[in-house]
Structure 1
Amino acid sequence: MIIAIGSDLCNIERIQSSLDRFGARFLARVFTEVEQAKAERRPFTRAGTLAKRFAAKEAFSKAVGTGFKAGVFMKDIGVINLKSGAPTLALTGGAAARLAVLTPAGHEAVVHLTLTDDHPWAQAFVVIEARPL
């Protein structure tokens, strides 16, 4: 059963402006090391790569109903790729705790994530499914 849905649209140029203005401080505050490494491997689409991940963090925070408060921080939400290449989220700290609260007893939460971009926009959708154990 679907227990939560979230979406977000992010402006790639806004992310580039933050990179230009705040550089490493912005990266360290918002993105995991895995996300930063992925973006560094894509020098021509670095800002777009980061904007999609920023949108994913926002979409998850909307899905769980907290935004970035109640212990849910951006760095607790990391975009990773499965062996198939499909994106999903690796959750730690307050983000993982909030998801655990939303997951019904006797179920496991499965996070589905889709990312896309078409300059100047990046978009993410998060669907959280509860599967019976």
Structure 2
Amino acid sequence: MIIGLGSDLCNIERIQASLDRFGTRFEQRVFTEIERAKAERRPFTKAGTLAKRFAAKEAFSKAVGTGFKRGVFMKDIGVVNAPSGAPTLALTGGARARLDALTPAGHLAVVHLTLTDDHPWAQAFVVIEAIRTE
């Protein structure tokens, strides 16, 4: 069963402006170490790489119904790649706690994530599925 759905559209130029204005302070406040490392390996598309991850964080916060309130922080939501290469989310802190609270007893939450960009836009969709384990 679907227990959450969220989407977000992010302007890549807005992320570039934040990088230009705030530099590493912005990156360290919003993105995980893994996300920053991936972006550094893509110097010509760094802003686009980060914009997709920013959109994923926003989409997840919508999928769990809190936005960035009730202990859900951007750095608690990290985009990682599954062994297949598909993007997914690694959750910690309040983001993990909120997902656990939403997941019905006897179920396992699976987060599905898709990312895309076409300058100047980056987009993310999150679907949270609860799979019965009993």
TM-score, length-normalised on structure 1? 0.99
1:74 alignment partner in structure 2: 74
Q: Percent identity?
A: 85
Q: How far, CA to CA, are the matches of 2:79 and 2:7 in structure 1?
A: 15
User: 1:26 aligns to what?
Assistant: 26
Equivalent residue number for residue 52 of structure 1: 52
Q: Which amino acid aligns with 1:110?
A: V
Which residue does 2:120 correspond to in 1? 120
One-letter identity of the residue aligned with 1:26: F
Task: Give ranges in structure 1 of 5+ residues lacking alignment.
Answer: none
Q: CA RMSD in A?
A: 0.3
1:102 is aligned to: 102
* In structure 1, C-alpha distance between the alignment counterparts of 2:132 and 2:69, rounded to whole Å: 29
Cα distance in 1 for partners of 2:79, 2:69 equals 19
Counterpart of 1:15?
15
Cα deviation digits, residues 50-99 of structure 1 (max 9, x gap) = 00000000000000010001000000000000111100000000000000
1 CA distance for matches of 2:31 and 2:7?
Answer: 18
Amino acid of the residue matched to residue 14 of structure 2? R
Q: Structure 2: how far apart are the matches of 1:47 and 1:71?
A: 27
Structure 1 segments of 4+ aligned residues over 4 angstroms from their partners: none
Unaligned stretches of 5+ residues in structure 2: none
**Residue 85 (structure 1) aligns with:** 85
